[in-house]
């Protein structure tokens, strides 16, 4: 069996091993694959693994030996699932591998904003503390999380993990979720989307990207938020109208934002949020801790083993 990994570098830049995958067949790993190289590199493969390399209907039709596509991520929009289904090709994804890492990034952004960690580390390096007349030096407001309202949009695995961390910090947690109130943990309150945006001090996005949620955070919703509010997005870039958020931050409609995802990745020159004061952008790394990537690798192998044994797991082409 021939296994081809089309873009393995993001998962494994060298600190993990492909050996468990190699034990299942002849395995060829490419760091990245340009669109014009996909068919050439996929020729003869029964198994393709992809992270962001697109496998569209034309590509799938041109690969008669293909039986299995493993997406090395949770989102599988890079694969034409309908075309795969029509060919009887199994498509699997990897859900919930980075839950704790992404929730951790939510609070990395939130604590950076409220405690200005990066700012003060930079100030100390610049000698500001040494020149201070007092034993402590600060030149910005500092915020305590205890007692603040955390609004969570989407209470799946990551949203729930974020809610638990918020409760541990003493925050009040309000969630927009399809779950009933009696299904929620103690301390988590189900509210409307409007209430999340209008009453919460922090809003964190954890919903999937759908036609309903695209540009969920727009100028109108931003205008409902408190001037002191903070927006965190570790979900999907297109959940946010980026120009509207840039304008809201520039005009002090809200206080700050922390985002780990953008609508275009890597961003184009002139991306609206980059360089905006009080907008902190990290380069889509919430998922990328060593522990999460090791878990992803293990699940990818288990998915393929399940397919080979006839006990398919995490199948999205049903």
Q: What angle do CA 12, 13, 15 make, to 5 degrees?
A: 75
- Give pLDDT, residue 306: 98
> Which of 254, 228, 227, 252 has its CA nearest to residue 240?
254
> Which of 281, 294, 250 has its CA nearest to residue 108?
281
Q: Answer yes or no: do 229 and 115 share one domain.
A: yes
> Exactly one of 157, 236, 293, 295 is catalytic; which is it?
236
Q: Answer yes or no: do 152 and 200 share one domain.
A: yes
Query: What DSSP string runs through 146-202?
Result: TTPEEEEE--SHHHHHHHHHHHHTT-EEEEE-SS-GGGSPTTEEE--HHHHHHH-SE
Indicate the DSSP class of residue 267.
Answer: P
- The tokens for 270 are 């002139």
> Would you say residue 186 lies in a domain?
yes
Q: Answer yes or no: do 50 and 178 share one domain.
A: no
Indicate the DSSP class of residue 37.
Answer: G
Q: Answer yes or no: do 298 and 182 share one domain.
A: no
Is 265 an active-site residue? yes
> How many Å apart are CA 174 and CA 187, to the nearest integer?
9
Total domains in the fold of the chain: 2
pLDDT digits (tens, 9 = 90+) for 77-116: 999 999 999 999 999 999 999 999 999 999 999 999 999 9
Q: Answer yes or no: do 217 and 150 share one domain.
A: yes
> Would you say residue 318 lies in a domain?
no
- Give pLDDT, residue 317: 81
pLDDT digits (tens, 9 = 90+) for 189-243: 999 999 999 999 999 999 999 999 999 999 999 999 999 999 999 999 999 999 9
Full domain range(s) for residue 172: 99-281
Look up the CATH number of the domain holding residue 301.
3.40.50.720
Helices within 17-98 (DSSP H only): 19-22, 38-42, 57-61, 81-87
> Would you say residue 316 lies in a domain?
no
> Would you say residue 315 lies in a domain?
no
- Give pLDDT, residue 104: 98
Contacts of 312 (CB under 8 A, 6+ apart): 90, 92, 306
> Exactly one of 26, 82, 264, 265 is catalytic; which is it?
265
Q: Answer yes or no: do 107 and 83 share one domain.
A: no
Is 85 an active-site residue? no
- Backbone φ, ψ for residue 254 (5° rounding): -130, 165
> Which of 177, 168, 196 has its CA nearest to residue 104?
168
Q: Answer yes or no: do 79 and 103 share one domain.
A: no
Ranges in the chain, pLDDT < 70: none
- Give pLDDT, residue 318: 73
């Amino acid at each position: 069996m021939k296994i081809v990994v089309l873009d393995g570098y993001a998962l494994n830049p060298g600190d993990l091993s492909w050996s468990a995958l190699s034990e299942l067949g002849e395995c060829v790993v490419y760091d990245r694959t340009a669109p014009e190289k996909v068919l050439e590199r996929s020729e003869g493969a029964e198994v393709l693994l992809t992270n962001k390399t697109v496998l569209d209907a034309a590509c799938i039709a041109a690969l008669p030996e293909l039986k299995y596509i493993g997406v090395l991520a949770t989102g599988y929009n890079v694969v034409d699932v309908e075309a795969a289904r029509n060919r009887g090709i199994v498509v699997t994804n990897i859900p919930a591998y980075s839950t704790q890492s992404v929730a951790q990034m939510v609070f990395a952004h939130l604590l950076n904003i409220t405690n200005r960690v990066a700012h003060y580390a930079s100030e100390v390096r610049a000698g500001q503390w040494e020149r201070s007349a007092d034993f402590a030096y600060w030149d910005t407001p500092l915020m305590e999380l205890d007692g603040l309202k955390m609004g969570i949009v989407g209470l799946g695995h990551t949203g729930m993990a974020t809610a638990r961390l918020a409760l541990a910090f003493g925050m009040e947690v309000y969630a927009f979720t399809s779950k009933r109130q009696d299904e929620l943990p103690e301390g988590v309150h189900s509210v409307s989307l409007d209430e999340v945006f209008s009453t919460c001090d922090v809003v964190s996005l954890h919903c999937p990207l759908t036609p309903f949620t695209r540009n969920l955070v727009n100028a109108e919703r931003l205008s409902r938020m408190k001037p002191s509010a903070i927006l965190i997005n570790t979900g999907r870039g297109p959940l946010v109208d980026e120009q509207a958020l840039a304008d809201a931050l520039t005009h002090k409609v809200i206080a700050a934002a922390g985002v780990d995802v953008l609508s275009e990745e890597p961003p184009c020159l002139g991306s609206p949020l980059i360089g905006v004061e009080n907008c902190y952008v990290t380069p889509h790394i919430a998922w990328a801790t060593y522990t999460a990537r090791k878990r992803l690798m293990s699940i990818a192998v288990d998915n393929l083993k399940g397919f080979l044994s006839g006990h398919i797991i995490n199948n999205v082409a049903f």
